[in-house]
Amino acid sequence: MIRVRHTVHITRRERGRRIIEHTARPSEYVEPGRIPRISRLMALAVHFDRPLREGIVADQTELARLCHVTQPRMTQIMNLNHLAPDIQEELLFLPRVTRGREPIHERMLRRIAANVGWRIQRTQWAKLRRSTVVCQS
């Protein structure tokens, strides 16, 4: 969700007529398109890792309950933390989707995240990137 703050002044003119006067424009430019879902899931995985490590929540089951998702879904999201750091960074900064379906889904990354070795993950990630249209640059 994108929020735009805008200051408006309502003034009264003749015969009590109200007029809205815009005073300032939003200072930030909002890029067109939407943030890819996998980028949002990766951000959630990074964000949820801290409460688990610090003991704020007992385990992923409690975290899933607090977030109103199933425990298996929370596991799928948290498994994104097993990806190599450079892959995580690429996922976080994928280009916005302006039309059509998103080329990369969480399901595509499950096999990659299941590998323990980052070298293997990077090889599989490069192969996946080559097969998608958006990630080629």
Question: Beta strand 18-22 with 8-12: parallel, antiparallel or unpaired?
Answer: antiparallel
In this model, does residue 3 exceed pLDDT 80? no
* Sequence spans of domains, the chain: 37-131
Task: Quote the tokens at residue 85.
Answer: 């750091």
Q: What is the pLDDT of residues 91-124, one digit of tens each?
A: 999 999 988 889 899 999 999 999 999 999 999 9
Q: What is the pLDDT of residues 41-76, one digit of tens each?
A: 999 999 999 999 999 999 999 999 999 999 999 999
Q: How many CA atoms lie within 13 A of 7 on its CB side?
A: 4
State how far the Cα of 59 lies from the Cα of 51, in Å rounded to an integer: 9
The per-residue pLDDT for 15 is: 73
The per-residue pLDDT for 29 is: 64
